[in-house]
Structure 1
Amino acid sequence: MVDIGIVSFGYAFGEDQSVAAAAADYVSDPERVVKWGYHTFHRAADGVTGTDLSRGAAEQALSRAGITADALDLVVVAITDMPEYSYWDSASALARELKIGRTQTLLLQEGCGSGVNGLFYVASTLAMQPEAEYALLVVVNRVSEFHRNRMNVINTVLSDAAVAVVVRRGHDANKWLASEQFTDPEYSDLLRLDFGGAVTPLPPVGWTSADAPSAYDQVREQFGGNPAALRTFIGERYTRLVEVIEGACRRAGVERTDLDHVIYLNDVPSSIAAVAGPLGIPLERTNAAIAPGHGHMGGADQLISLGLQVESGELNPGDLVALCGISTGRWCATLIRV
């Protein structure tokens, strides 16, 4: 175990957009999107990159922590959409933007669980390097609208945003207690895009993001001939989240009944309730109230919700919070003591 806590949060959001006003630009049935319940999403202006958002969030977090970038012993960046370039390191690029001459960096690409798992990798590094004091974790989601239709991937509206946290050894608030995660490789291809990699570098002729497959398409493709496997997958989505939260509780030496809050992806209320309900957590002690005003910001959801609730006073000192998420075939949880 290592004694670390989050000193400060920083945020950077794309421009606020009305879901109701923009839905028809993305899908042919905008009423379907509006019914999900989101009223606002964030869309970065053309030319604003993921690194730009990361820098904005990082600079705010550093300022709030009262330190400069050269005090950092580790910079971790997690990206949850397409990188800006091939053969390129977003973590190194952020360190350069912050004008750090030399530091350790780590790049994570673990989808919507990146923010939850990122704290584990920070803790791991500081546990192995007792001389390290400060780390910066940044999670950014900048949707590539060439590759993805932000309103037709899953039952959420995808948003552009970044969150940064400054973590310090020995900090007494927002303490990391434990993390747990596991992967089921069977589901590795569920959100796969079939071009842009080494196998198929170029898109089909005439491609637009309107042609991008939705999660429904890919679920049907994977399970079309096996309805029993589909039912198993749907049931496991939430039961495995409870399982991984319980695993984090065991590592931290607490009971699941000790939990005060659960922060999940910025999903629809029914999905958030499906995670929190079995743990005995009412919907008002989740991120359900925050999600409609932000949309799904990839792996940044949980840390943004945590920071906003800490700053608003919704979370009180001593509260035990479970951050949890699902990415492609990965279930993860981290416990924070406010």
Structure 2
Amino acid sequence: MITLGPVSSVFPETSCAVPELTELAELPAERRAHALALGVDTVRCAEGAGEELTVAAAEQALRRAGLAADQLDALLLVGGRAPRYLMASEATRLQHRLGAERAFVAGVGELGCASISAAFTLAAGLLRGDAHCGTVLIVAAAAAPTRFRYRAPMTVLGDGAGAVLLSTAKTGRYQLVDHLVRSDGKYSDLFRIDYRDLPHRDWREECADEATYSFRLAVESRKRLSSMNSELLDRNGLRLHDVGPVLMQNLSAGAFSFWAEALQTRIDPACRHNLAAYGHLGSLDVLVNLEAAAAHRTPGDYTLLLNSSPVAAWSSTLLRRLPDREYEGIEL
């Protein structure tokens, strides 16, 4: 059995109210109105301290698990989309700062918000395929890649960092029951930043075709996730009503309404709460939502965790809540 947890999340102290973001004054009126209608009240702003947050999140997860860094078998970093340096290794730098000398280390990316889902796949493969691997720490960073936090026509970006331990020991909040990840390269550069010949201040994340994002990709995503959910649940002898409210990433209040109708299910209230408080956190969204929802799930309950990105990539993860007694003696 593979367990997932503890989960940790760390956020900057600086909180920015969305209506007060200076960039909104630069937007046309209809764009500004859209940004203010997404359901995001505040975002956290790291102001260059992203690496410190990442280290803090990893250390917090290890402390909660009662595990020393040099006991880790593997460390996977889901990095930000704009690394500080080209050619350098953020993953091995994190390894060094933690003191995880004996861990296998890798960076996982290229799938946008769903990169953490790919990290789940890699972690599960290591735990199932390597008899010497019993603990994998996944660390995810979230930092706006440009000075513009409004990602039109999708969401508002916040900063933070998180980590989760996957293990063969029965020490987590959830059992990782089953997991699927799919992708489609037709949308590989739908969102992009042209950066090579521009100073950082002028970087801007742009959608190459908003109609494709809003309609074609939305239809594709609905088909993909519906099919993946059916496949995942069927092969585990379950139906959608067996898993309760679905957890997913946080983009906008409108997106939650779309997915509730498209998938004919309920979206866990934790998602809306965290969207309002933190905005969109990329790969970190699903960890923050999963931990927030854990308090309301009964041991034995199944949870369906959905993730997607405009790359495009989609994931569906089936989890089962474990008893809290397995956390006795651990600081939460």
TM bin, normalised by shorter chain, reads 0.7 to 0.9
Instruction: Tell me the alpha carbon deviations over residues 191-237 of structure 1, each in whole angstroms, 9 at most, x when there is no partner.
Output: 12233xxxxx322x79614xx2532xx115x85xxxxx974433223
TM norm structure 1: 0.85
Residue pair 2:245, 2:265 contacting (<8 A) in 1 also:
yes
Counterpart for residue 229 of structure 2: 245
Cα separation, 2, equivalents of 1:90 and 1:164: 15
Counterpart for residue 45 of structure 1: 47
Cα separation, 2, equivalents of 1:206 and 1:308: 35
> Does 2:119 align with 1:137?
no
Cα separation, 2, equivalents of 1:315 and 1:206: 44
Counterpart for residue 151 of structure 1: 150
Counterpart for residue 76 of structure 2: 76
Cα separation, 2, equivalents of 1:125 and 1:138: 16
Cα separation, 2, equivalents of 1:232 and 1:155: 14
Aligned to 2:53, what secondary structure does the other structure show? helix
Cα separation, 2, equivalents of 1:230 and 1:97: 41
Which amino acid is 1:120 matched to?
T
Counterpart for residue 336 of structure 1: 319
Aligned to 1:167, what secondary structure does the other structure show? strand
Cα separation, 2, equivalents of 1:20 and 1:117: 34
Note closer, same or farther for the CA distance 1:104–1:26 as it changes in structure 2 (3 Å cut). Answer: farther
Cα separation, 1, equivalents of 2:214 and 2:159: 31
Counterpart for residue 329 of structure 2: none
Aligned to 1:263, what secondary structure does the other structure show? coil
Instruction: Tell me the alpha carbon deviations over residues 275-317 of structure 1, each in whole angstroms, 9 at most, x when there is no partner.
Output: 233444224456123211110001110011101222xx22222
> Does 2:173 align with 1:202?
no
Instruction: Tell me the alpha carbon deviations over residues 123-142 of structure 1, each in whole angstroms, 9 at most, x when there is no partner.
Output: 11111112222110111112
Residue pair 2:181, 2:314 contacting (<8 A) in 1 also:
yes
Residue pair 1:7, 1:171 contacting (<8 A) in 2 also:
no
Instruction: Tell me the alpha carbon deviations over residues 305-332 of structure 1, each in whole angstroms, 9 at most, x when there is no partner.
Output: 101222xx22222221122122211111
Cα separation, 2, equivalents of 1:23 and 1:207: 14
Alignment of 1:10-89 (within 5 A): 10-14=8-12, 15-22=14-21, 24=23, 27-28=26-27, 29=29, 30-46=32-48, 48-49=49-50, 51-89=51-89
Cα separation, 1, equivalents of 2:239 and 2:132: 32
Cα separation, 2, equivalents of 1:268 and 1:323: 17
Note closer, same or farther for the CA distance 1:314–1:23 as it changes in structure 2 (3 Å cut). Answer: farther
Q: What is the Cα deviation at residue 22 of structure 1?
A: 1.8
Cα separation, 1, equivalents of 2:16 and 2:200: 28
> Does 2:12 align with 1:4?
no
Counterpart for residue 322 of structure 1: 304
Counterpart for residue 219 of structure 1: 209
Aligned to 1:290, what secondary structure does the other structure show? helix
Cα separation, 1, equivalents of 2:291 and 2:235: 24
Residue pair 1:177, 1:335 contacting (<8 A) in 2 also:
yes
Q: Which moved more, 1:274-283 or 1:316-325?
A: 274-283
Which amino acid is 2:320 matched to?
R
Residue pair 2:140, 2:283 contacting (<8 A) in 1 also:
yes
Counterpart for residue 161 of structure 2: 162
What is the number of residues matched between the two proteins? 314
Alignment of 1:208-287 (within 5 A): 208-209=202-203, 212-215=204-207, 218-220=208-210, 231-284=215-268, 287=271
Residue pair 2:80, 2:143 contacting (<8 A) in 1 also:
yes
What is the aligned-residue identity percentage? 23
